[in-house]
Homo-oligomer: A and B are copies of this chain.
Amino acid sequence: MRLDLARILVARTRMNPVFLDTPQYECEPLGDALGCRLILKVETLNPVRSFKGRGTETVLNRLHDSGAADAVVCASAGNLGQALAFGGRSRGIGVTVVASSAANPLKIERMKTLGANVILVDGEIEQALEAATRYAAETGAFLVEDSRDVDTCEGAATIGVELADLPGELDAVVVSLGAGAMASGVGHALKSLRRGTEVICVQPENAPAMTLAWRAGRPVEVGVPDTIADGVAGRYVLPEVLDDLASVVDDAVLVTEDGIVEAMRLIHVHAGLVVEPAAALGVASILEGGGRFDGRTVATILCGSNVSPTDFDGWTRGGRGRS
């Protein structure tokens, strides 16, 4: 386990407070619809509309301490890039984001508005990472790698520190799983501070790389992701992140695309929030859990809301979105 609770607590004290102490409350209407007592942790009401600012603040603060570079580069499906652009802009650090040309256009546009230099490449997130790695080698920019860079995991772990403070019972947390930073971070914080809470990762069945790897105990071959949840649509597994997850995650489950859409719709109706597909995985896992969560107290993290209105409407109203 690479993560360290003391470092996480220090990171929390140094972060832009706009990302901290996010709402966490019982949403009774949504819980009633799902048959459990549901706690929402809302990470969408900040300048980048996702939880990623917690990680990028941590990366940028430590980079400032070390003085290692005055520019950064990352590969991103969108949310990491926005958060890095936001943090870099306020610190005078140049930010380059390499994204797949198939990435969410809204996210690309927001990165540019926040001042990032955006480079588009063909392929998936993994091809973007190869290009970002080359860019770093050529220019000397610091390469921020989501989940591989432990700062991104420890920043996300501050969500778990806050969840651990919830009053009353907390039987389980269902947390979206992509490359693994949020799941390992939240899992580590909860296993350190609130051991009795079950930590369950959730991934789309159409982008199951990390889940299948967690179950097998090693990376496994999967096909190209085919999910509307662009924020978690990776294909390859980082062994060090898999190791981190092994010690803090109790279960890993998969959900359908229909379940994700229905979860987005229910969150909109009962909590008044637009969330992106990757943020609805936890609610989808309760919907498709076959009664596993009935009567229990379950928290989920609404981790991002960067979705175009057209896509959102297309999915949740039975029409067609972008993919």
> A21 to B20, alpha carbons, bound, how many Å?
10
Please determine whether A21 and B21 come into contact, CB atoms closer than 8 angstroms: yes
Please determine whether B27 and A47 come into contact, CB atoms closer than 8 angstroms: yes
Copy number in the complex reads: 2
Please determine whether B45 and A40 come into contact, CB atoms closer than 8 angstroms: yes
Residue in B22, B40, B110, B268 whose CB lies within 8 Å of A274: B268
A18 at the interface (CB under 8 A from B): yes
A262 at the interface (CB under 8 A from B): no
When distances are taken between beta carbons in the complex, the residues of chain B under 8 Å from A27 are 47
A305 at the interface (CB under 8 A from B): yes
A273 at the interface (CB under 8 A from B): yes
Please determine whether A23 and B23 come into contact, CB atoms closer than 8 angstroms: yes
| A74 vs chain B, min Cβ distance (A) | 20
A26 at the interface (CB under 8 A from B): yes
Question: Among residues 276 to 323 in chain A, which have CB atoms less than 8 Å away from a CB atom of chain B?
Answer: 305, 307, 309
Please determine whether A22 and B25 come into contact, CB atoms closer than 8 angstroms: no
> A273 to B274, alpha carbons, bound, how many Å?
6
Question: Among residues 253 to 286 in chain A, which have CB atoms less than 8 Å away from a CB atom of chain B?
Answer: 268-269, 271-275
Looking across the interface, which residue of chain B has its beta carbon closest to that of A24? B18
Given contacts A18-B25, A29-B110, A275-B272, contact A45 B45 (CB under 8 A): yes
